[in-house]
């Protein structure tokens, strides 16, 4: 890295933490690792500035609680949250609590490195503005029914629940869902959620 910024990796899983450290170090990022959010919070007074990558599901202090504590302490370092595939509601809460991004497990190495580069480069706001414009254009191409299905999906609703609300059948909802993913160029439901969160100023 051309500066002294550090990526602080917090995960109670030794193997996951080591894998992230290896990936980031191989990409020439300076990395510090912590086995828990408590260890990280205790180290903050002497820690180098940078960004944070934290797992959501950890004992004692979760990733969401860590976000809240950082905000309370006035620490504005960008935070990237790593979530499991079934953690869409948690990811939404993380973004609303101040995370700059969330990465779904199993994560794509290039996507994670890009997120870290944006966070450390101080480009998070500019990147979000550009992404927001692109997402708004994609949203404009959706039909009213597709938009309704999209909003229900982001709320965490099941296909059956959406079909009942639309007075339709599950097969029709599945078609709308597939159309939404294609038109939005989303690779997964979590990706779609991330896009919708970014679309809101």
Model pLDDT, residue 153: 83
Q: What is the pLDDT of residue 104?
A: 82
Low-confidence ranges of the chain (pLDDT < 50): 1-2
Neighbours of 82 (CB within 10 A): 25
Give pTM, 2 decimals.
Answer: 0.73
CB of 62 closer than 8 Å to CB of 93: no
The SS3 call for residue 123 is: coil
Q: Are both 6-122 and 129-199 of the same fold?
A: no
**How high is the pLDDT of residue 2?**
40
Candidate CATH numbers 3.30.300.30, 1.10.10.10, 1.10.3720.10, 3.40.50.300; the one for domain 129-199: 1.10.10.10
> What does the pLDDT read at residue 141?
92
Collapse the DSSP code of 51 into the 3-class scheme (helix H, G, I; strand E, B; otherwise coil) and give the result. Answer: strand
DSSP-derived secondary structure letter, 35: S
Fold designation for 6-122: Rossmann fold (3.40.50)
The whole-angstrom separation of Cα 175 and Cα 8 is 42
**What pLDDT is recorded for position 117?**
87
Domain ranges in the chain? 6-122, 129-199
* pLDDT value at residue 30: 93
């Amino acid at each position: 890295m051309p500066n002294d910024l550090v990526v602080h990796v917090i995960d109670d899983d030794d193997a996951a933490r080591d894998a992230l450290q290896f990936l980031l170090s191989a990409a020439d990022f300076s990395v510090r690792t912590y086995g828990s959010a408590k260890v990280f919070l205790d180290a903050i007074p002497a820690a180098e500035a940078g960004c944070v990558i934290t797992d959501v599901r950890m004992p004692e202090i979760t990733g969401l609680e860590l976000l809240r504590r950082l905000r309370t302490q006035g620490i504005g370092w960008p935070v990237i949250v790593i979530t499991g595939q079934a953690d869409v509601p948690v990811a939404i809460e993380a973004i609303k609590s101040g995370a700059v991004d969330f990465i779904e497990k199993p994560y794509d190495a290039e996507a994670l490195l890009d997120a870290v580069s944006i966070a450390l480069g101080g480009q998070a706001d500019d990147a979000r503005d550009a992404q927001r414009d692109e997402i708004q254009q994609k949203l404009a191409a959706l039909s009213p029914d597709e938009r309704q299905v999209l909003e229900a999906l982001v709320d965490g609703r099941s296909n059956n629940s959406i079909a009942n609300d639309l007075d339709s059948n599950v097969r029709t909802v599945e078609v709308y869902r597939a159309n939404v993913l294609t038109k939005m160029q989303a690779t997964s439901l979590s990706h779609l959620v991330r896009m919708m969160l970014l679309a809101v100023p």
